[in-house]
Structure 1
Amino acid sequence: MTFGEKLKAARIESGLKQSELAKKLNTTGNTISNWENNVSKPDLDTLSYICGILHVTASYFLQATIPEDEVSISELKLVKKYRYITEHSPSGAKTINAVLENEYAIAEQLEKQKDRIEELETSQAAVIDIQPHLEDSTRLIEYHHSASAGTGVFILGSEGVEQLPIPNTPENRKVDYAIKVSGNSMEPDYSDGDIVLVSQKVDLNHGDVGIFIVNNDAYIKEYGETELISWNPDADNIIISEYDNIVCMGKVVGKY
């Protein structure tokens, strides 16, 4: 990208018009237009002001490509939001960390699967060897202890995670992890001790059963419009307020 293209991209990412950037730099919109069209370039002092206004480093403009360890504009925005949440809502930061850990583990597993597929595709002998066993093959998924059908179970990080083998069927390929039910609020369909299979690849609609983290506790509940619903008539629903931190960790798609 040229200097002008980088400047335009950073300005748009920051939500500024040419005229607004010009006002902050005490210059004209025509000058900004000339810079973005590579007709001219700002001096180094002005460039330092631009970096401060658009929240980018000088290397963003001066290097031909952005190094892998250089933070992009959109990433900087995420960092600012995360710092704000950490300062004002520590429980929210814990929830974000939990989601990141889970998604990172999923990404790692997908990358390993991709590498294995590429390895098999380049090895005819390996492909021939595994074909007779496809019907009996299994895959490993993460197994967590546990989701509450009652008062809530703490579920953050990777503590207590095991590997669980499931048949490698087309239906099970959408399953991302398994989790054990604790409590009886979702009876008769989901009882204490049941292991449910959860997918993060399918949409969760109102009326579906999912795994939810509410203020750092995990629950298996039906997704309602204003509350998380228990199926056992003797159990209470979870009313969601604007002050609660809630994250959906996937849709329940079956039992183990």
Structure 2
Amino acid sequence: MTTNEEISYRIKALREEKGLEQSDIAELMGYKSQSTISKWEGAKNLPNGRKLVQLAQILGTSTDYILYGVDKPAVSDIQSIYDELNDMNKKKVVDLALALRDKQNRKPIQMTTVFITGFVSAGNGVMQDDYVDAEITIPSNEVPDEFDSVVKVIGESMAPKIKDGDLLFIKHTPQVENNDIAIFQVNGENYVKRFKSNGTPYLKSLNPDYDNVYLSENDDIRTIGEVVDIYRER
């Protein structure tokens, strides 16, 4: 247990380390004479509350060191200042503290590299020879568990669900169900569209400013795969 004598000793030792006289401390703290400082160093009386915080600041230490002799975060200093704030500013302090805590405890984002193997059109079609073999690093939580390839979108015919520049994760399959969004190759051109099989099959554009792609028995049609996920850079 810390005694008054130990606290008084630390106050005197810190003052002398700073090269200050008792009168210097008294003047800095607004006292007319050094008698109060002398009482503190003689263990006849001790500073408390705001005076203790002020003394710690002048001596370049914390209230915890003065009271307990240990270098701990000056919780008592913070509490004393907090108690002097009005309700609005107290809320600001709490909000800032919570934000700093969340930032401190936030786990680093894990990243995964995926390979872009081609382009698909959300417009008028992209020829198969527009082939790329590039890589991009994206957050791991944006990568689906199962996919076979990644393609990049050109055009806006599937907006707002799919936009120009989006990456599509594809699960390869020779056929898809009605209303599935998938990648199709029609007469050598690659599309991302919604498959509609009611009546005559066609490929639907979600953006009304773009035409649908109507299919006939003379077309060379191949289903490449279903879109299982979409990644859009923020």
Smaller-chain TM-score bracket:
0.3 to 0.5
Return the structure number with greater helix share.
Answer: 1
Q: What TM-score do you get using the length of structure 2 for normalisation?
A: 0.45
- The structure that has the greater radius of gyration is 2
Q: How does the TM-score come out when normalised to structure 1?
A: 0.41
